[in-house]
Chain A
Amino acid sequence: MKIQTTEYTIDCRDAEPYAKLSGVLRLASPAAYEHAFAPIRKHLAATLGAYTLDVAQLTFMNSSGITGLSRLVMQARSDSRELVIVVSDTVPWQRKTFGSLQKLYPKLQIRN
């Protein structure tokens, strides 16, 4: 399933535990993200094995989005699901932000 807007793309691969977020995500509230990320949450529940969330090409995201992502991390945590977030070293905000999400779920892996 793929959602594409002029600003961002959310691509959940069929039958594969992999989703990719790209573009610019600056929605107005955590509630707005709750719904934007609903396909990922469903996909996470419907697939098996270590789940990869690739945000390497997400150039901007606001703090409401971090809250949204943290809810996905918590979903993986409550299912003891392996979760890998793929980040990019060339997108500065990602370098700064993602490390702390591991405190939420020690099994979370952050990869470049």
Chain B
Amino acid sequence: MTGAHRLIIGPEPQRIDDSKRMLIKIATRRSEILQCQYFIAEIYNSAYNIVFSSDIADLDQAIEPYPDRYVMGLIDGKLVAAAGLYIRRTYVATYGGITDDEIDTKITEANMSHRYSAKRKREYTKLVVRGNYNGLGIGRFFHAATHSRSFLEIDSSEPNVLLVCAKQSIYRSMYSANRIQTRILKPFPHYAVHEKYCSPDDPMDSRLIIPEIDIAPQWYNLPLPGEFSLQEIKQRAAKEIRDEPGPVSW
């Protein structure tokens, strides 16, 4: 299941106190990493009836691989959002059939081969939001804020390109809305594990993000950990609904 998307597990958005703040931080302690893994497993299992494994992953058997790094969103110390980053094996390369040559071609087209190479690639994945916090703009804000270099470039001294795999509606509602541009690589092959996720009307594809030029600086340069007011997050979400989102991608 892929890159970036939000899932709804609770029927009603919760009324939350606007004076609260959301802390966004990278999971570093073992307890934080496990919290993120289990949170993702719980939501994916409830929405898509799939299970996880850290040592055997096979999309045709509805077994998903866990990401290598995690970022968490906490309100009052409670985990309400999480996302992962593959830094070793990427989903898009392993299951999406994308080769390094295809990635390098895109990097060259963007005149960025002096900074980036397909040898250094990562993948943003498994964005989940607790059901009763859905519909408040938290997911979209968390998505944007976690495209900070603090997270994307963790444990790396050189810049990495970012891969993503999602259905087209997610590229529109999250990436374009957040001013994160994506470059289409190719359609994602059909796997059993995605049957409850995408549809012919809303197919999945693999895309490339060249962070320094594709991610709006306000997000790429956002320092993490950081605390953000829920009131501002909600106002921002309301404003975005009025604004027409930018182009989907090119």
Contacts and interface: CB of A to CB of B under 8 A. Distances in A.
A34 B58 contact: no
Interface in A16-67: 27-29, 31-36, 38
Nearest to B195: A31
B62 A29 contact: yes
B33 interface: no
Interface of B: 49-51, 55-56, 58, 60-63, 191-192
Given A32-B192, A34-B192, A27 B61 contact: yes
Contacts of A35: 60-62, 191-192
Interface string A1-14: 00001110000000
A28 B63 CA distance: 9
B61 A36 contact: yes
Given A27-B62, A29-B49, A33-B61, 4 more contacts: A28-B50, A28-B61, A31-B192, A36-B58
Which A-B residue pairs are the 5 nearest by beta carbons? A35-B192, A35-B60, A32-B61, A28-B51, A32-B62
Given A6-B55, A34-B192, A35-B192, A28 B60 contact: no
Contacts of A32: 61-63, 192
Contacts of A38: 60
A72 B241 CA distance: 50
B196 to A, nearest CB: 10
Contacts of A33: 61
Contacts of A34: 192
A5 B60 contact: no
Contacts of B61: 27-28, 32-33, 35-36
Nearest to B61: A32
B62 A5 contact: no
Given A31-B192, A32-B192, A7 B56 contact: yes
B197 to A, nearest CB: 13
Contacts of B60: 35-36, 38
A24 B49 CA distance: 21
27 contacts: A5-B56, A5-B58, A6-B55, A6-B56, A7-B56, A27-B62, A27-B63, A28-B50, A28-B51, A28-B61, A28-B62, A29-B49, A31-B49, A31-B192, A32-B61, A32-B62, A32-B63, A32-B192, A33-B61, A34-B192, A35-B60, A35-B61, A35-B62, A35-B191, A35-B192, A36-B58, A36-B60
